[in-house]
Structure 1
Amino acid sequence: MGDEKDFRREQVRRQRLMSAPANEVPVRLPWSAVLARGEDVAVLLVGARLYSTCMQLDIHVRGRGGAAFDLHMAASGRPDANGDVLCLGLSGAEGFAATNLSRSPSAQPDEVPKLTPGGGGGGFGAVATTYLLRPSPPAGPVTLWCAWPVRGIEETGVEFDGSRLVELAEQVEVLWPLEDETPWSMTPPAPNVPPGGWFATHAPGG
Structure 2
Amino acid sequence: MKGIIFNLVEDAVVSGHGEDTWDDLVDAAGVEGSYTALGNYPDEDLTKLVGAGAAALDTPPEDLTRGLGREALLGLARRYPHFFTPHTDARSFVLTLNDVIHAEVRKLHADSNPPEFWFGDADAKQLQIHYRSQRRLCSLAEGMLVGAGEYYGEKVTVRHEGCMHEGRDHCTFAVDFQPAA
TM-score normalised by the chain length of structure 1: 0.23
Q: Point out the structure with the larger helix share.
A: 2
TM-score normalised by the chain length of structure 2: 0.25
Q: Determine which structure has greater relative contact order: mean sequence separation of CA pairs < 8 Å that are 6+ residues apart, divided by chain length.
A: 1
Q: Which has the larger radius of gyration?
A: 1
